[in-house]
Structure formats: structure tokens, C-alpha cells
Amino acid sequence: MSLTMPPGPLSGQPGENVNYRIEGPAHRLYGHPFPRRVRAEFGGETVLDTERGLYVHETGLLPVLYVPEDDVRAGLLERTGHSTHCPFKGDAAYWTVRAGGRTAENGVWGYPEPKEEAAWLRGHLAFYWKALDAWYDEDEEVFGHLRDPYHRVDARASSRAVEVALDGEPVAKTGRAVVVSETGLPNRLYVPAADVRAELLEPSGKRTVCPYKGEATYWTLRSGGRVVEDAAWSYPDPLPDAAKIAGMLCFDHEALTVRT
């Protein structure tokens, strides 16, 4: 994401504070070897197993892993008549995955005859992440998508004063927040649960998964007759890079006022 989203050098709006100029199309492709073994399963079968993955970054999009055809279980794939055209990569062919009595229709694509400027995609296949049941980076299951080696998360303890309010009513106040800086995103302030008025919050049913921080749970805020859905989120059991924010809450909603 850091390469392909502003102000990354492969984004549509790269940063201006540079001493170089990138000559070429505004829509850019960059592929490099993914550094570890990747496996994926569907219907109880291993569909792909590779140590030669090609991680492709494309302007405005999340990176996608392209796998050599030799590292894919060809017997589980069935080519379909579906096709799409990409002005940068060429005409894509599609395959359906069949395994364990289940079907992932058009869950795989590739470029049998890619455009000359993307010739390195020939002989590779890509998979829709959600079409398969499970993905593994080495022996660790991965959720959301593979980690981008150019994306990082830094969590830093901070003594800055942080106050959160709804219509002037205090919701949280702390001098021991954690500031999370994540590539491509604004800084987020996480507040210890002990410094939040817990009686104003109740769990909501929303859940999201971040490949860099883990699974987030969300909280609804009720105060003064107002209800603010998903006013805050937290990571009860974050991944190691975000261990400092375990159990803390982040408030980021247009109805709230956050002062620092």
C-alpha cells in the first residue's frame, strides 16, 4: 500500500519533495519476489504452494500475489469463458476452483498473453483472497491479505493529553495514550480502557481484520439520548507489531470531538 497509495512513488499522486523524476505511465506496475513460502486451501485441498510468488504492486490497488502455474494444483482448476480487459496488463482469462464438493467460480485469473510491458506476468495465476478458505505465510495463517513489506505500523507511548467528548459530554480523558502511525493512514490515538467511561459503551456486532494489527471489535456509544454506532474500536488480542494497544480504545467518528 505504501508504494501505490499517495504519497507513494507508484501512486497517482506521488510526493513532491524528491530529487528525481519518474518517467513512464501514470498507472504503474511493480513486481518483486515475495520473500516467503505461501500456501492456500479450499475445500480441504491445498490449491497453491509456492516459494516463488510474485508480489505485484499497482497504482491505487492493494498488492496481489501472482503464483507460477507449476505451483498450482492444475487438476483443481477449470477454465471458464469469462474474460476481462486491463489496459495495463492485457486480457485476463479466468478459472473456477473445484475441491471437496465446493466451487469458487472465477476465483482465479491470469494473463496468458500479457501486454509487452507486463510480460513478466506470463505463466502466473492470481487468486481472489476471499474465494479460498485459508492462506498461510510460512506456517502462520494470514487474514485480510498478505502483508506488504513496504507497509509498517509503529505504536508509541505518549504523555500528550487526550480528551474525547460527545456534544460536550466527556467520554474519555487520558495522559497515557498510545499513538499508532500506520503507512498511508493518519495517526490514531488509543486510550486505556480504564480512562474511558465504560458505562457509555456497549459492544456492537461489527468486526474487521487488519493484517498488521489483528481483529478489531467495535463499540457503540450511548450518551444523553444519542446513539453513535461504531464510535470506537479496539484490538483485544493484537498482532505483535501492535501489542501496545491491546485492550485500548480508539475513537474516530464525525460525531465526536477529540482534543489533544
Please check whether residues 193 and 88 belong to one and the same domain. no
Please check whether residues 175 and 213 belong to one and the same domain. yes
Q: Closest Cα partner for 28 from 53, 57, 55?
A: 57
The answer to whether the CB of 250 falls within 8 A of the CB of 225 is: no
Helix (H) or strand (E) holding 219: strand 214-223
Helix (H) or strand (E) holding 26: none
Last residue of a domain, one of 142, 163, 181: 142
The answer to whether the CB of 85 falls within 8 A of the CB of 113 is: no
| Domain, as residue range, for 179 | 153-259
**pLDDT tens-digit series, residues 24-59:** 788 899 999 999 999 999 999 999 999 999 999 999
The band of 241, judged by pLDDT with boundaries at 50, 70 and 90, is confident
The Cα–Cα gap between 174 and 193 comes to 10
Place of cell 490515538: 189
The Cα–Cα gap between 105 and 100 comes to 14
The CATH number of the domain holding residue 72 is: 2.170.150.40
Please check whether residues 181 and 254 belong to one and the same domain. yes
Q: Cell triple for residue 179?
A: 499513538
The pLDDT > 90 percentage for the chain reads 83
Number of domains in the chain: 2
Residue 70 lies in a domain: yes
Q: Cell triple for residue 159?
A: 504523555
Query: Phi and psi dihedrals of 129, rounded to 5?
Result: -55, -50
pLDDT at 14 over 80: no
Please check whether residues 129 and 181 belong to one and the same domain. no
The mean pLDDT of 181-195, rounded to a whole number, is 94
Residue 186 lies in a domain: yes
pLDDT at 19: 85
Query: What rounded mean pLDDT belongs to the chain?
Result: 94
Residue 8 lies in a domain: no
The Cα–Cα gap between 43 and 41 comes to 7
pTM: 0.84
Please check whether residues 115 and 182 belong to one and the same domain. no
DSSP secondary structure of 65-112:
EEEEGGGB-GGGEEEEEEEEEETTTEEEEEEEEEETTEEEEEEEEE-S
Please check whether residues 82 and 119 belong to one and the same domain. yes
